[in-house]
Amino acid sequence: MTSRNHAVVWIDHREARVFHFDREGIDKMVIHAGKPSRHIHHKANSIGAGHSAEDREYLEHVTDALRDAHMILITGPANAKTVLVNHIKDHDAKLAARIAGVESIDHPSDGQLVAHARTYFKDDRQELPRIR
């Protein structure tokens, strides 16, 4: 993958879509969780919170996919984005310093996600290639 200035990632518990972009182009990578998780519901009077353990291997693959970016926007519909941010903070302080923002976004198309990131990173907004 070519080194690009900015990255946006959309993540949930099943997959992460990572886009690196600059004025010259866009690179896309899709990373799937190795352990598909089920929704576990908490029962009253039971031990534990009812949450499955985080897939650290999945989080590390996503972290690796972001390493070359100068500025990163992390998005997603639920708490997976927060889990990713915490994983990055715990394992790579230099990469964590390049996280420009974290936003809740439901299920955008690839084009919508990249357009949102272009707007977010306004200084590179002009003349960026469009994804279809």
Segment 80-113, tens digit of pLDDT: 999 999 999 999 999 999 999 999 999 999 999 9
Domains and CATH numbers, the chain: 6-34+53-124 (3.30.420.60)
Alpha-carbon span 132 to 130, nearest angstrom: 7
Q: Which run of H or of E encompasses 57?
A: helix 56-66
Structure confidence by residue, pLDDT tens digits, 2-36: 557 899 999 999 999 999 998 888 999 999 998 65
CA distances from 64 to 59, 85, 91, 95, 108 (A): 9, 13, 11, 10, 23
